[in-house]
Structure 1
């Protein structure tokens, strides 16, 4: 299913600092750096909603900002309203707050939300969208029974992502050591990177939801599974440096023992 959220837009000329007529070529401009999937509320993401690509559209002489999502099946009215509210919040106080830059024929313009209601349209476009990862969701929620059930499916992908993160990353980020340990024991990739370029060991140090003792427990399991304690992550430091900066002495001790 394709779900389209659309809000009225206005074109701003940065050179004159005034609203401008719609320039040629605006229709269809794609803002590739602003996909909304990672920011979806859990209640929406857990329905399997993906995408969130943003583009400019021009219809009947008017500009609009269009956000395109896809889902495995039709969303009910409650989910549609939740998605509408999410899109509205993103346009007013989130990713669209300062508008979207677009360059056409060498000149820069700014497409900004112009207020008004968010129009939502849902159509069956025939595109296959896989269901959300039961493994990742159970790991994130600390649901051991649910995770064991998901893993009992012989075709379960231990490293499937949900909003860009594997179940192992989510378990660590959300402070769920037992599901993290179960995934490691079952063979989850200890070096899989998250969207920021961090490995699970980095997340052990960075997670404010995983205390020092549990961070150390998970790190021991990761190291035993082959995780690299010397890899430099997105922050420019190794897990050891991050553990020291984050005040996790037990984790630091575990990491230092692998020098």
Structure 2
């Protein structure tokens, strides 16, 4: 890859010498007899935000599930840091520093905000440290600390899910439809937070139906249709080719 192309894709030349933090190579995956990923190639390098774009049913969520070990691939390779990890479990991916916020947020509605955060103490971080980090990043969670998580707004629940994920000190963050059900102002706030996380050293793969909510912070964008990655390029290149019919405004 030339230095010009590397710059266009948000990659520094020296980063090309290091293996990607996350890589899918020719990945196929199925639900029962139905194959839903048909040879997916996708790369996330250190310090990047990679936006995986496409309509519902295109295979984005399945790709995230494969990447975090929730769904086994049927062929191809899943690699972390250049090492093949096919068949890895979701528990082991978490131990390796990969953290996922699934579609629908994945919080425990019948637990309080604090109790949801305390679930992250299994990583060895103290309750006090987890709360300090969460309430410092999202002060509204501090105000809601004793409130049942299920009674909060969608945006507050997403903040809680993100805070709990960050308590594990991940190297790679996988986000599935971060904007789902959120008001535009809250979506903008959440993606501002994601951009800050990348500055702190976290690499991010985000699957998103509404492309233009994530393109402003992305380094690389990939379009996924019918279980295949059909285009990869800089956000500007992908944005110029987007069809709002499929990917939303």
Higher Cα radius of gyration: 1
TM range (shorter): under 0.3
State the TM-score, normalized to the length of structure 2: 0.28
Q: More helix per residue: 1 or 2? A: 2
TM-score, L = length of structure 1: 0.27
